[in-house]
């Protein structure tokens, strides 16, 4: 019992010293929102639709993001341009339901849908959290620079005929049997 | 018949089955591409590899193709054997070498056999790093989209198109690793069954070009068992809808009717329900109003008219709608009819009365087994799937005889063709009847042909007589039935009726009600007319008479889902749900009542015809009739058929129809030098007429004339002639066609309506100097 008393005192002084030390230490807390912490590039926040290196929409409206979405917050309708290129006529994400799981990004075969390090999306009503395509589509390639789905897939679009893809040989002439 | 053992499980099989068929029947999923239940085995894809263990233990196990290996009693089969799995994996890896890897933009994705098989048996990674062989695509018309790079050379397309549907403009070209499936050159596919390529193709080479415009993945589509509303065959379909719009139609297997296939009218005609001009808001005197307001306005007009009221149902309206309208008209002591043309009413009721008398009407599956058939009229346009069934009969060796006035694709397969003007059809049927009763020697070419037909029909084990009601008159229909009786109990009778529910409508139609209604309107005995799903003002023969008569009406109330001439002229328009948006019942050509379920609701739901009539009755202060009660009154013991089942025969009392078999003598000259004949094509139907993609294939308006007659009259191909009908005069280019009878001008339905003539009516033709 006698032995414990000085230990307690030492503890007390140590705590006081620690407190005092922290009073003059560098602050860990930032005064958000005046000061913003840098977020890692792979942070799963606000979803965007990106464009390919040619400036065209990357999204081909394949519906895989809406299929994989566990909370059903993505709704889109596919349509196509006169040259056969698919794109979403409407693309809508309900961020009041989105859980930022990132499944859509993982499912996207054209690297179009990407999650960004931005979480500041507060609104006063649920309706304002429903983002339409105009709010989602950005003028950039996002995280995956240089990828263009149509260069690899063997279908023709404007500016790339059959057989002109990076994996293709020139098309077979089916009017002759000669090799 | 015996059992085989698949991985230790005893599987029964039927004589003639192969291992794959026996396994699939019990739910063992042996992977396959080229095998198809109807198209059979080919062994082209090599995917259904299985290992069989010979009885003799000295012999090594073999890997064989399950689709080509006949099932034998005691056969030991292993699907999971390593050797078989390796073969299947190799096949998939090989097929994927040249695959374009474009699943995100492929419409087949989600229901693609290649995707499923790759996941099920293929290697998870791609090893091949070389370049891919590519093909250019063809423009195959507005219905089918071609993407040849996705092909896996299973030959299902050509087997269906050439061998099954007997089309000749799609085939395989080139050889080795470069086999190409397409047409000789770009152009729309000519077959009325081309849309089935979308379903038989296990990958995305052929996809639905109409669905592509408003594409949705299969997992997003709402579906429910339905029945096709476009002709009297009643094929079973599976409509797919999303976001309150109808997107596509797929075939739904029905073992006795359509089985795996439907025609292009059934597959693409559904677009009428998404037509931009489709009425969706009720209108009173061209002012858009709410449903309640329109209903109140209609009830006021009906009350004002007292018993001076008429109700016109329709052959394309479901059984519930027609029966409810009839019940309402009984309560109001008005006149009820279902046809807009008295001649068509008599023809259809005669046909239905004859069908009620026959022992049993053949289903499509049974029609494929007949060994002789007499076809009166153009089946391809009026009942395309009966045409496909008869093509199977032809493949099985049946002799087909075609008695017709205008072009019909079936003449290609006919053993004997008789091309005669419409007014001589009856005389030819009578001659056949006489020949069957007392065979006689033939003196001229035409008699020789008649003798030939009579010979096959009498020699056949099961002859089929089938008539197209729209281009026949009642006595001809009755004489065809007499011929069936004369041929004995083996003979079978069928008619292609003029609408999806023509059979049901005919059963509800009081005798001579159409002419009674027209006369009552003309004499002012009807002041308010309720039209449900009918288009009397657009009728080919009597449209002009109806238009004049309807001007005498105080109020024209129209319930419809398409913008017909009658709907445009309506004083009160009550838009109703299209067939996929409501549930109901259609009675097909056999008398089989089939229920269809409501697939989806539009964003602003529309009521069905039966619901509108119930609401109207309530507004009138009458006890609202209930469709189930009304139907059990009309058909004793009626039970609504459950959608998705095979359907049940409609038990109805025999129709009290005066059967008239007096055929006008054809010997004398016809009143006019020329006679009009209806030439129709497979997309030609009141509802499908609102489907834009299908209409792109409609033949250009022309006057079709027999070349020999044109030569004698000095008319050249492409020359413009003036046609003078009772209503209007039209100038049309002449097209020469060997399949048009002498003295006959074959014209499209729209042209006939404009001229004001019906099939078989006289018409004036003048050369323009």
Domain match, B356 and B310 both? no
Residue from B477, B408, B470 nearest B759 by CA: B470
> Which of B106, B115, B136 is best to mutate for the A interface (most A CBs within 10 A)?
B136
Domain match, B752 and B704 both? yes
Cα→Cα distances B425→B463, B481, B708, B752, Å: 19, 14, 20, 20
Single out the residue in B581, B615, B649 at which a domain terminates. B649
Q: Which residues of A touch B274 (CB under 8 A)?
A: none
Q: How far apart are CA A9 and CA A3, in angstroms?
A: 11
Q: Which residues of A touch B149 (CB under 8 A)?
A: 154-155, 162
The residue-averaged pLDDT of B623-628 equals 82
Burial of B542 (0-12, 13-18, 19+ CB in 10 A): buried
CB contact under 8 A, A162 and B135: yes
Q: How far apart are CA B451 and CA B429, in angstroms?
A: 12
Q: Which residues of B touch A86 (CB under 8 A)?
A: 105, 215
**CA of B185: which chain A residue's CA is closest?**
A175
Q: What is the DSSP letter of B61?
A: P
Q: What is the pTM of this model?
A: 0.91
B419 domain-assigned: yes
Is B100 touching A (CB cutoff 8 A)? yes
Peptide bond into A33 cis (omega under 30): yes
Domain match, B488 and B359 both? yes
Question: How does residue A106 score in pLDDT terms, banded at 50, 70 and 90?
Answer: very high
Whether the predicted pLDDT of B177 surpasses 90 = no
What share of chain B in percent tops pLDDT 90?
72
Whether the predicted pLDDT of B672 surpasses 70 = no
| Per-residue pLDDT tens digits for B367-394 | 999 999 999 999 999 999 999 999 999 9
Query: Helices B474-486 and B425-437 sit at what angle, rounded to 10 degrees?
Result: 20
CATH number at residue B720: 2.40.40.20
Question: How does residue B663 score in pLDDT terms, banded at 50, 70 and 90?
Answer: low
B455 domain-assigned: yes
The residue-averaged pLDDT of B107-116 equals 92
Q: Which residues of A touch B178 (CB under 8 A)?
A: 172, 174
B68 domain-assigned: yes
Domain match, B403 and B511 both? no
Residue B640 is part of which domain span?
A: 283-344+503-649
Single out the residue in B498, B533, B566 at which a domain terminates. B498
Domain match, B533 and B608 both? yes
> Which of B105, B115, B153, B204 is best to mutate for the A interface (most A CBs within 10 A)?
B105
Q: CB of B750 within 8 A of CB of B735?
A: no
Q: How far apart are CA B585 and CA B647, in angstroms?
A: 10
B669 domain-assigned: no
B747 domain-assigned: yes
Is B330 touching A (CB cutoff 8 A)? no
Burial of B296 (0-12, 13-18, 19+ CB in 10 A): middle
Is B216 touching A (CB cutoff 8 A)? yes
Single out the residue in B498, B513, B533 at which a domain terminates. B498
Whether the predicted pLDDT of A2 surpasses 60 = no
Whether the predicted pLDDT of B727 surpasses 80 = yes
**Which B residues 236-295 touch A at CB under 8 Å?**
243
**Which A residues 118-147 touch B at CB under 8 Å?**
none
B635 domain-assigned: yes
CB contact under 8 A, A67 and B219: yes
The residue-averaged pLDDT of B209-226 equals 93
Residue from B505, B507, B574 nearest B314 by CA: B505
CATH number at residue B507: 3.40.50.740
Who among A79, A171, A174 is closest to B173 (CB)?
Answer: A174
Domain match, B731 and B638 both? no
State yes or no: ipTM above 0.90: no
Domain match, B685 and B625 both? no
Q: How far apart are CA B415 and CA B36, in angstroms?
A: 30
Q: CB of A77 within 8 A of CB of A90?
A: yes
Q: CB of B457 within 8 A of CB of B436?
A: yes
Domain match, B80 and B17 both? yes
CB contact under 8 A, B101 and A67: no
Q: Which of helix, strand or coil describes residue A142? A: coil
CATH number at residue B401: 3.40.228.10
Query: Helices B445-459 and B425-437 sit at what angle, rounded to 10 degrees?
Result: 60
Q: How far apart are CA A142 and CA A58, in angstroms?
A: 11
Q: What domains can you pick out in chain A, each with its CATH number? A: 47-143 (3.30.70.3270)
Q: What is the DSSP letter of B361?
A: P
Whether the predicted pLDDT of A3 surpasses 60 = no
| Per-residue pLDDT tens digits for A110-137 | 999 999 999 999 999 999 999 999 999 9
Q: How far apart are CA A151 and CA A159, in angstroms?
A: 10
CATH number at residue B51: 3.10.20.740
| Per-residue pLDDT tens digits for B315-327 | 999 999 999 999 9
B602 domain-assigned: yes
**CA of A111: which chain B residue's CA is closest?**
B104
Is A70 touching B (CB cutoff 8 A)? no
SS (H, E, C) B251-273: ECCCCCCCCCCCCHHHHHHHHHH
Whether the predicted pLDDT of B667 surpasses 50 = no
Who among A62, A155, A174 is closest to B174 (CB)?
Answer: A174
The predicted structure's pLDDT at residue B392? 95
Q: How far apart are CA B443 and CA B461, in angstroms?
A: 28
CB contact under 8 A, B104 and A62: yes
The predicted structure's pLDDT at residue A162? 87
**Which B residues 125-184 touch A at CB under 8 Å?**
131-137, 147, 149, 173-175, 178, 180, 182
**Inter-chain contacts counted by CB atoms under 8 A, chains A and B:** 94
Query: Helices B609-619 and B319-331 sit at what angle, rounded to 10 degrees?
Result: 20
Is B603 touching A (CB cutoff 8 A)? no
| Per-residue pLDDT tens digits for B127-170 | 998 999 999 999 999 999 999 999 999 999 999 999 999 999 99
Mention every residue, 6+ apart, whose C-beta is less than 8 A from residue B679.
B378, B381, B406, B407, B704, B740, B746, B747, B748
Report the domain count for chain B: 4
CB contact under 8 A, A62 and B133: no
Domain match, B513 and B563 both? yes
Domain match, B383 and B320 both? no
The residue-averaged pLDDT of B396-408 equals 93
Whether the predicted pLDDT of B465 surpasses 60 = yes
Whether the predicted pLDDT of B668 surpasses 50 = no
Domain match, B320 and B374 both? no
Domain match, B494 and B507 both? no
B272 domain-assigned: no
């Amino acid at each position: 019992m006698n032995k414990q008393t000085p230990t307690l005192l030492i503890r007390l002084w140590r705590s006081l010293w620690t407190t005092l030390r922290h009073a003059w230490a560098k602050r860990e807390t930032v005064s958000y929102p005046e000061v913003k912490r840098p977020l890692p590039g792979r942070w799963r926040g606000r979803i965007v639709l990106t464009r390919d290196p040619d400036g065209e929409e990357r999204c081909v409206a394949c519906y895989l993001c809406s299929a994989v979405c566990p909370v059903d917050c993505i709704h889109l309708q596919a349509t196509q341009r006169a040259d056969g290129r698919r794109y979403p006529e409407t693309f809508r994400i309900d961020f009041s339901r989105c859980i930022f799981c990132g499944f859509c990004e993982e499912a996207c075969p054209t690297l179009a849908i990407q999650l960004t390090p931005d979480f500041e999306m507060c609104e006063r009503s649920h309706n304002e959290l429903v983002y339409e395509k105009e709010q989602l589509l950005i003028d950039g390639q996002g995280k995956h620079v240089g990828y263009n789905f149509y260069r690899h897939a063997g279908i023709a679009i404007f500016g790339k005929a059959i057989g002109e893809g990076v994996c293709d040989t020139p098309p077979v002439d089916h009017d002759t049997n000669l090799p | 018949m015996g059992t085989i053992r698949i991985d230790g499980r005893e599987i029964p099989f039927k004589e003639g089955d192969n291992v794959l068929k026996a396994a699939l029947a019990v739910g063992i999923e042996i992977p396959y591409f080229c095998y198809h239940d109807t198209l059979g085995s080919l062994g082209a894809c090599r995917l259904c590899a299985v290992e069989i263990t010979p009885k003799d233990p000295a012999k090594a196990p073999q890997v064989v193709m399950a689709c080509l290996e006949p099932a034998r009693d005691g056969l030991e089969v292993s699907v999971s054997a390593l050797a078989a799995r390796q073969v299947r994996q190799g096949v998939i890896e090989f097929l994927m070498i040249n695959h374009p890897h474009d699943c995100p933009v492929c419409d087949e994705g989600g229901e693609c056999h290649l995707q499923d098989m790759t996941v099920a048996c293929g290697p998870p990674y791609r090893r091949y790093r070389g370049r891919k062989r590519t093909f250019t695509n063809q423009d195959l018309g507005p219905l089918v989209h071609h993407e040849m790079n996705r092909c896996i050379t299973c030959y299902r397309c050509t087997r269906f198109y050439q061998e099954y549907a007997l089309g000749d403009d799609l085939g395989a070209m080139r050889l080795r690793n470069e086999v190409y499936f397409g047409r000789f050159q770009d152009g729309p596919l000519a077959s009325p069954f081309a849309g089935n390529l979308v379903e038989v193709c296990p990958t995305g080479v052929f996809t639905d070009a109409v669905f592509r415009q408003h594409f949705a993945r299969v997992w997003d589509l709402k579906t429910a068992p339905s029945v096709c509303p476009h002709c009297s065959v009643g094929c079973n379909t599976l409509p797919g809808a999303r976001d309150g719009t109808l997107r596509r139609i797929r075939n739904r297997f029905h073992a006795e009717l359509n089985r795996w296939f439907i025609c292009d009218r059934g597959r693409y005609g559904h677009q009428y329900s998404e037509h931009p001009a489709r009425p969706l808001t009720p209108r009173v005197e061209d002012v858009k109003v709410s449903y309640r307001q329109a209903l109140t306005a209609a009830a006021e007009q009906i009350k004002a008219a007292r018993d001076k009221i008429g109700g016109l149902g329709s052959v394309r309206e479901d059984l519930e709608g027609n029966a409810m309208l009839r019940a309402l008209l009984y309560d109001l002591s008005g006149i009820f009819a279902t046809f807009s043309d008295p001649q068509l009413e008599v023809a259809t009721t005669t046909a239905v009365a004859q069908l009620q008398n026959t022992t049993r009407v053949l289903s499509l599956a049974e029609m494929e087994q007949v060994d002789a058939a007499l076809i009166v009229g153009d089946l391809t346009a009026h009942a395309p799937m009966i045409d496909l069934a008869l093509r199977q009969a032809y493949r099985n060796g049946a002799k087909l005889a075609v008695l017709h006035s205008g072009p019909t694709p079936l003449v290609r397969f006919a053993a004997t063709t008789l091309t005669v003007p419409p007014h001589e059809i009856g005389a030819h049927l009578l001659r056949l009847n006489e020949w069957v009763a007392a065979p006689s020697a033939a003196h001229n070419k035409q008699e020789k042909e008649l003798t030939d037909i009579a010979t096959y029909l009498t020699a056949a084990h099961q002859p089929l007589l089938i008539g197209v009601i729209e281009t026949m008159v009642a006595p001809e229909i009755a004489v065809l039935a007499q011929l069936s009786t004369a041929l004995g109990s083996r003979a079978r009778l069928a008619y292609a009726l003029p609408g999806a529910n023509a059979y049901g409508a005919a059963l509800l139609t009081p005798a001579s009600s159409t002419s009674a209604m027209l006369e009552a309107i003309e004499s002012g005995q009807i002041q308010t007319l309720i039209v449900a799903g009918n288009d009397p003002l657009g009728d080919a023969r009597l449209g002009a008479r109806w238009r004049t008569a309807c001007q005498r009406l105080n109020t024209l109330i129209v319930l419809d889902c398409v913008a017909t001439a009658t709907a445009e002229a309506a004083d009160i328009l009550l838009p109703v749900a299209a067939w996929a948006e409501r549930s109901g019942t259609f009675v097909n050509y056999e008398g089989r009542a089939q229920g269809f379920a409501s697939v989806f609701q539009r964003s602003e739901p529309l009521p069905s015809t039966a619901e509108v009539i119930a609401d109207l009755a309530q507004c009138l202060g009458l006890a609202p009739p209930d469709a189930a009660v009304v139907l059990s009154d009309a058909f004793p013991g009626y039970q609504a058929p459950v959608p998705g089942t095979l359907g049940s025969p409609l038990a109805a009392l025999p129709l009290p129809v005066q059967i008239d078999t007096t055929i006008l003598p054809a010997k004398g000259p016809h009143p006019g030098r020329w006679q009009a004949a209806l030439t129709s094509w497979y997309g030609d139907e009141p509802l499908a007429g609102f489907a834009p993609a299908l209409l792109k294939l409609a033949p250009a308006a022309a006057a079709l004339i027999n070349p020999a007659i044109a030569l004698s009259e000095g008319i050249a191909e492409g020359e413009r002639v003036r046609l003078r009908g009772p209503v209007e005069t039209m100038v049309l280019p002449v097209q020469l066609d060997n399949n048009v009878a002498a003295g006959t001008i074959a014209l499209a339905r729209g042209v006939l309506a404009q001229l004001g003539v019906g099939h078989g009516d006289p018409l004036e033709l003048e050369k323009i100097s």
